[in-house]
Amino acid sequence: MSKKHLMDFRVAEVDSFGNGYSLLKLSPIGEEMPLIMGGQFVNIQVNKSKNTFLRRPISVNFVDYEQQLLWLLVKDAGEGTHALCQAEVGETLNLLLPLGRGFSVPAQKADSILLIGGGVGTAPMLYWGKILKDNGYNPRFLLGGRKESDLLELDEFRQIGEVFVSTEDGSAGEQGFVTVHSVMQSKIDKMYCCGPAPMMKAIAKIAAQKECECEVSLENKMACGLGACLCCVEDSKEGNVCVCTSGPVFNTKELKWEI
C-alpha cells in the first residue's frame, strides 16, 4: 500500500469547459509530487462550500511530473463539486493522496486494449492510457457521453492512442451507448472501464461473453477514503470490501454483479 500524503496544492490553472466541467491543474506546495498509479484518486477538501464538511473523492486525471502538475477533471454534480469547479488560480487546496488501488497492467501480452469512459468516468483513463503507452502497450479509447459537449480532452487522448466516440444524441461519433459502438465487435484482450454503474455492468457482461479481462473503477459514495467509515462498502466474492481501499478498481470477476 502506497504512503498517503496530506498536502497543500496551489491551483495553477483552471479550464472551464462549460457544461459544468472544469479541469483543475494543481501544483504541490513545498513538496514533490508523490508517486501516483493510474486509477488512484485524491480526497479533496472543499473550501468554498459551507455545507460540505467531508472531502470529495476525485480521480487522478493526469500527472505531469516534469511540470509538477496534478490534473483533476471535475463535474459539477452538487454543492461540493460546484465549489471545486469555482476554484481560482492561486487558491490553496488540501488533498489526501494517493488513495485506493489503481488499474493493473495486463498479466500477459495483450495486443488489443480498450479503455472505456462514460461522462466524467473518462477522467482516470487519460493518465492510465499514458502509463500503458509508456509501458509499450497500444491503448485505444472509447469515450461516451450524452452529447458532443460531454466529450472532453479529446486532443489529449488522441496524443496517446486511437480514439472512438459515441454520443446518445448522435451529435458526435456513433449514436448510442458505448456498449453498441462498432469497436466493441473487434478483438479485445483487456478492457478498462469507468462510468455510470449500469454502463460498467453492461461492459462487464460483454467482457464475460468475449472472455476478456475487464477492470472497472467504482464510484461508490465515500467519506474518509481510508477504510475507516465503511460508507463505501461493496459486496465482493471475498465478502464486503471498502471500495476506497480494496478498490476503486476491481477485476469484474471479483465482484458479485449479476451480469
Ligand X SMILES: Cc1cc2nc3c(=O)[nH]c(=O)nc-3n(C[C@H](O)[C@H](O)[C@H](O)COP(=O)(O)OP(=O)(O)OC[C@H]3O[C@@H](n4cnc5c(N)ncnc54)[C@H](O)[C@@H]3O)c2cc1C
Angstrom distance (rounded) from CA 122 to CA 53: 27
Angstrom distance (rounded) from CA 156 to CA 229: 36
Among candidates 202, 172, 120, 205, which has minimal Cα distance to 163?
Answer: 172
Judged by CB under 6 A, the stretch of 136-144, 159-167, 185-193, 213-221 that binds ligand X is: 213-221
Q: Which is nearer to ligand X, 35 or 77 (CB)?
A: 77
Q: Which is nearer to ligand FES, 33 or 222 (CB)?
A: 222
Q: Which of residues 181-200 bind ligand FES (CB under 6 A)?
A: none
The residue from 26, 71, 81, 215 that contacts ligand X (CB under 6 A) is: 81
Task: Tell me the residue number closest to ligand X, measured at CB.
Answer: 78
Query: Which listed option, ligand X, ligand FES, none, makes contact with residue 227 (CB within 5 to 8 Å by class)?
Result: ligand FES
* Least separation in angstroms between CB 259 and ligand X: 21
Strand 139-145 and strand 163-167: pairing? parallel
Query: Are 202 and 179 contacting, i.e. CB atoms less than 8 angstroms apart?
Result: yes
HSE (CB half, 13 Å, CA atoms) of 121? 28
Fill in the DSSP letter of residue 36. -
Residue 105 found at the interface with ligand FES (CB under 6 A): no
User: Any idea which residue has 477492470 for its cell?
Assistant: 215
Judged by CB under 6 A, the stretch of 84-92, 169-177, 184-192, 224-232 that binds ligand FES is: 224-232
* Least separation in angstroms between CB 136 and ligand X: 27
Angstrom distance (rounded) from CA 179 to CA 144: 9
**Chain positions contacting ligand FES, by CB under 6 A:** 222-225, 227-232, 242, 244
